[in-house]
Structure 1
Amino acid sequence: MTLEFLVTAFIVVATPGTGAIYTIAMGLMRGRSMSIVAAFGCTLGIVPHMAAAILGLAAVLSSSEKAFMILKLAGIIYLIYMAIDMLRAGGGGGLGKPDTRQSGTGIVMQAILINLLNPKLSLFFLAFLPQFVDPSAEGAVSLMIADSLVFMLMTFVVFAIYGLFAASLRDRVVERPNVLAWIRRVFATAFLAMAAKLALA
């Protein structure tokens, strides 16, 4: 594992995406504990993509337009669903009424789906991991697994920091209905924008 890998991984993780936005949303509306749960779910959501890259399954996605389109369409539909859910008062996305109570399991499952239904993640890891590990080298799979675990740990820590920072602002948000409404709209718009970006992939 090199410094170059750690720096590159940090830049990738710290760049806000759907998972980071969802974790921030949970921090704002559900508090610290649920933001950590969301960060954990988002981290779990990248495991299948890493496994696919390590096992070579991501190559199928990159070579099969039909397979990529099916997964992409599922991701687009789910992001649109998340946007609508964010706007619904009391919606499962946790950005409805401040007293909304969604189970931790529900938040984890939602967070996993957000990352799981993004086919670009599989292609990203297919291109990302081999840059730092020679696939033909002895023990390459073990090295890729080790790098992947570090990437997962980094993802969880960074997302948790995002969520905890958002949670620190929670009291100011839930006491202001107008601010709450605007936050719902901002997150909904963000998810719609990411759905559009995925559609153009």
Structure 2
Amino acid sequence: MASVTLTLLPGPDLLFVITQSVSQGKRDGIAVSLGLCSGLIVHTFAAAVGISALLYHSAVAFQLLKYAGAAYLLYLAWMSLKETGRSGLSATEPKRSFFSLYKRGILMNVLNPKVSIFFLAFLPQFISPAVGKIPLQMITLGGLFFVQALLIFSLVSVFSGMAGEKLLKKSMGSKSISYVKAAVYALLGVRLALLEK
């Protein structure tokens, strides 16, 4: 229940899924969702083997990862602005491959150091040393988080994609969506750049 509640709270990942689904359809949203959730696996293993703790205690590593993530989000904002002259779901716009979008989701998630620190703080609350090996418990709990997050993000992709199709039927719909998407990515990038531990 804690995982579901946290996943449903408005955050960078959820906003990323919504904007991608509204602008390009549910298929693209699901691809990004799978990438974001795959990034959670990376963070789970990092927390289980202690890499997240090293990141937390190394100001240089934290800052480097943070600025790399911010730069990537600002790059996505720029690319979204370049789409303003196109029709979001038109046949003339080349569709990105599922794998390309999947990689985009992974990059966004893995390049956010706050997620690593969150997992380092969140997962241990549900671990009992008496039950068994702590790293194995963390990986199991991370797997449960992955499953529920993927389910929720996929449902959000479907409903957001349906809303996007209705918006794109209007003449100014696609331009408006591209501007909103660019603004969301830019705000997320600036927010990440200004993030403190």
Q: TM > 0.5 between the two?
A: yes
State how 1:1-201 maps to structure 2 within 5 Å.
7-89=1-83, 97-99=88-90, 100=93, 101-134=95-128, 138-201=132-195
Distance 2:7 2:124 in 1: 18
- Per-residue displacement from partner, 1:79-107 (whole Å, max 9, x unpaired)? 1111111111279xxx8642331111111
Distance 2:70 2:175 in 1: 24
Distance 2:180 2:64 in 1: 28
**Runs of 5+ unmatched residues, structure 1:** 1-6
What's the CA shift for 1:140? 1.9
Distance 2:181 2:105 in 1: 14
Residue type matched to 2:17 in 1?
Answer: T
- Per-residue displacement from partner, 1:150-200 (whole Å, max 9, x unpaired)? 100011011011100011123312222322222222222222222222122
CA contact (8 A) 2:46 2:52 kept: yes
- Per-residue displacement from partner, 1:37-61 (whole Å, max 9, x unpaired)? 2211111122111111111111111
Shift in CA distance, 170/161, structure 1 to aligned 2, threshold 3 Å: same
**Aligned sequence identity (%):** 29
Per mean C-alpha deviation after superposition, the further-off stretch among 44-53 and 28-37 is: 28-37
What is the TM-score when the length of structure 2 is the normalising length?
A: 0.88
SS for the counterpart of 2:132 is coil
RMSD between aligned alpha carbons? 2.1
SS for the counterpart of 2:89 is coil
Q: Which structure carries more relative contact order (alpha carbon 8 Å, separation 6+)?
A: 2
Distance 1:193 1:26 in 2: 15
CA contact (8 A) 1:135 1:141 kept: no
Alignment: residue pair count: 192
Shift in CA distance, 177/45, structure 1 to aligned 2, threshold 3 Å: farther
SS for the counterpart of 1:16 is coil
Residue type matched to 1:64 in 2?
Answer: S
Residue type matched to 2:142 in 1?
Answer: S
Shift in CA distance, 10/108, structure 1 to aligned 2, threshold 3 Å: same
**Runs of 5+ unmatched residues, structure 2:** none
Distance 1:128 1:96 in 2: 41
